[in-house]
Chain A
Amino acid sequence: MQVLLAITIGLLYASGIYMILRRSLVKLIIGLILLGNGVNLLIFLLGRITKGNPPIIDESMKTFDGAYADPVPQALILTAIVISFGLQSFAIVLIKRVYKVVNTDDMDKLSLNEDDQR
């Protein structure tokens, strides 16, 4: 399982970086989304995958008993997913707006705004 996850993470990072190097705005966003998913899986993998019980202490017990899953990575991933969801929705609205105003999807066509005045 670990190996499989490691390969998946590698693929997500590689394809994400490939996509953000493209000139299209849409591909840029897709690349960032892929990278975001890759990093979530990375936290999951590095938080150690264990086959165990959910991290809930039984009413009658004071401490954990036996193997249990580490709850922290799950909380971290949940937070990261929510944040990246917000950022991605903003990004999609932004590129739609940029496309309407600048009328191009090509990053190279965005001017370097050197001389024009506001």
Chain B
Amino acid sequence: MTEQLILLPILTQALIAVFLLFCWGKLRVQQLISILGSTLNLAFAGWLFISVWQNGIASVQSGNWEAPFGITFVADTLSVTLVLLTAISGLAVSIFASVTVVAARLRFGFLPILHFLLMGLCGGFLTGDIFNLYVWFEIIIISSFVLITLGSEKQQLEGSVKYFALNMLASIIFLTALAILYGLFGTLNMADLSGRIAQVENRSLVHVCALFFFVGFGIKSAVFPLYFWLPDSYHTPPSAVSAIFSGLLTKVGVYALIRVFTLLFTDDVFIDTVLLGVGVLTIFSGGIGSLVQTNIRKVFSYLIICHIGFMIAGLGLFNKLALAGMMFYLIHDILVKTNLFFVSGLIYKIKGSDDMRVLGGMYKSNPMISLLLAVPLFSLVGIPPLSGFWPKISLILGALESENFLVLGMLLFGSFITLFIIARLWAKVFWKPGDQLKIRKDFEYFSDYSQTRKVFVLIPVIMLAAVSIYVGFGAEHINTLAERVAGELLDTKPYIQTVLGK
């Protein structure tokens, strides 16, 4: 039964998207289907997670073509955790988008495209075939192109040109790497490739291939020095879109990096050095970049980059503690980053601006909402016992174990700079006495919303905040999960055995 279960999250999202297309123009129906469907999908993802947690790694061969000839879908703990997180954020974004995105955008197929994007994400996490991963990536980026350009505002279009060009280039580089890989090994099944790569004599060819993969996925996950498209484009679409982009799109790049550099190109000093160097520089440049920004969403965009560095550095350290820390950080980051852009969207809807220089007095005017917004902000900083605190301990212990003090110092620097930025943001937006902002015409303020709509705007924020509070207070559970994932990443034998059946 587990085998068929693997495909359920992908199929549900695909079906929701198709149903939504049939209800073109009927906004109420679309919103209802989207929210109910996402809830159903969350149930399936949870079921899959529990089943894999109890029975171990599962795989299904599409069309019954045996691996390595057919396309395999594999559900290991890493994949199902990410699918579950996708389902959680997907539900939150679907609610948030239904109530905050203006009707004109919704009418042009916003929700169906959102569900196609979620389908692509689930597929990407679950596939065990590297060319199939490319196909899922394309589904993800083409949906994201539509989401980022929908509305055709001047700013959006300017941002999306950069987003489009760099992502398409990344796909081409990824495909080049695939061509080399196929030329070398004649197979594209990741489990089958895993053993063969270590045996190749010509290491430089393997390194070239690995670097192509690194650049391709690096552009998508916005690492140094390939991140410049991100802060230029992520703040332009509606907040609901930014939320799903920052929570999941960059993380799918990180997931691909984790998969490729633990399963395919492992135990290579050269590659680990590259990962560590890039991770350290990413933390540094993201942190410094966010210091000078005044637009809240741009501050958060740079923080995404800074925290991607934490994960890349954790991957580069490649010991059990660091990998567990990285996994924990990934879980925490998906939830918190999605919520952060909800926060920025909420501030924008309440005040009509997201410029820190003119904002102020949020705490005085909306004390309860401010307290709610404090949860994701403080989780991000990692104030114990909130969720950001625990993974940093594991990462720092991992760096100590490898005696890599540069990484250790940079992790501390990154945490400190995050603290500084969030404290400054809190002081400027929430505490500073605010001037009366100019009332904008043709703008839907939060206070103009009906009572039910206000509640629906707050539900996703509360939901994600509750989950990240659970991640913080139930850190023991999450840590068990992260350690199990780290164990699976270090010892890939069960994965390979499940796929190839020997």
Contact = CB atoms under 8 A, between A and B. Distances in A.
A42 B174 CA distance: 12
Contacts of A57: none
Contacts of A110: 158, 161-162
Contacts of B145: 90, 94
A-B pairs, 9 with minimum CB distance: A46-B183, A43-B179, A42-B179, A110-B158, A39-B175, A83-B138, A98-B157, A35-B172, A113-B155
A111 interface: yes
Interface residues of B, number: 38
Contacts of A72: 182, 186, 188
A80 B135 CA distance: 8
B439 interface: no
Nearest to B131: A76
Interface stretch (B146-154, B398-406, B490-498): B146-154
Contacts, number: 93
A32 B186 CA distance: 27
Interface in A52-74: 70, 72-73
B161 A83 contact: no
Considering residues A80, A90, A118, which has the most beta carbons from chain B within 10 angstroms of its beta carbon?
A118
Contact of A87 (B131, B135, B161, B168): B168
Majority secondary structure, B binding face:
helix
B229 interface: no
A8 interface: no
B353 A43 contact: no
Interface of B: 131, 135, 138, 141-142, 145, 149, 152-155, 157-162, 164-165, 168-169, 171-172, 175-176, 178-180, 182-183, 186, 188, 232, 236, 294, 353-355
Interface of A: 20, 25, 28, 32, 35-36, 39, 42-43, 45-48, 70, 72-73, 76, 79-80, 83, 86-87, 90-91, 94-95, 97-98, 101-102, 107, 110-113, 115-118
Given A94-B161, A95-B161, A117-B353, A35 B179 contact: no
Contacts of B154: 101-102
Majority secondary structure, A binding face:
helix
B413 to A, nearest CB: 26
Contacts of B188: 72
Contact of A86 (B142, B236, B294): B142
A94 B142 CA distance: 12
Contact of B149 (A20, A46, A94, A113): A94
